[in-house]
Structure 1
């Protein structure tokens, strides 16, 4: 399977190489970051009241010192769909002073009792263009 030569394509290629079936729906976490807690809470309220079909949570990311909304969507991880969703969420976050900070997929590893992120770094997601990790 061929993927574009960008961060999203590389992430999908790594997932496929690790044995993840990319033709089946997965829980994909999209990360939105905000400097201001009130901006993040307002964005969270808007997402909660929208027709978005997924789980949403707000956390303080101590490592970044920023507020992070995680939007978990169950979807087939197709390149164009991922990019479209990421752009839509980035534009949404920008309305509240935030930005997209990539996406990730949790995968249970054989022999592990915990879930771990699928990419190779410690942050578990494809980094956006303004990522500060």
Structure 2
């Protein structure tokens, strides 16, 4: 699978190489950062009242020293869909003095069987 030579393309290529199925919906986390707590809280309230379908979490990122709003959207991680969503969220964040700061996908997603049964002991009848 070919991806553009930019940050989003490189992230998708790395995900594909790691064996993540990019044709299925995944929980994609978009990161919005704000210097000011009030701006971050206002943005969170505004986004919560919008028609955006996703979960949100606001916290102080000690590493960045900024308020971070994580917006989790269930979507198929296609390149253009990621770019479009990131642009939309960046425009939104700018209205509150913030900006987007990338996106990511947790390694373990629903349907993964990597951690399914850690207590399982294989026998001759196992088919994995």
Instruction: Provide TM-score, normalisation by structure 2.
Output: 0.85
Query: Over the residues paired in the alignment, what is the CA RMSD in angstroms?
Result: 1.6
- How far the C-alpha of 1:107 sits from its partner, in A, is 1.1
RCO comparison, higher one (Cα < 8 Å, 6+): 2
Equivalent residue for 1:83? 83
Q: Measure, in 2, the Cα distance between the counterparts of 1:18 and 1:45.
A: 36
The answer for the alignment partner of 2:50 in structure 1 is: 50
**1:58-110 CA-partner distances (Å, limit 9, x unpaired):** 01001111000000000000000000000000000000000000000001284
Map residues 66-77 of structure 1 onto 2, 5 A cutoff.
66-77=66-77
Q: Which runs of 5+ in 2 are unaligned?
A: 118-128
1:26 CA displacement: 0.1
Q: Which structure has greater strand proportion? A: 1
- Paired residues for 1:13-32 under 5 Å: 13-32=13-32
SS of residue matched to 1:77:
coil
**Residues paired across the two proteins, number:** 113
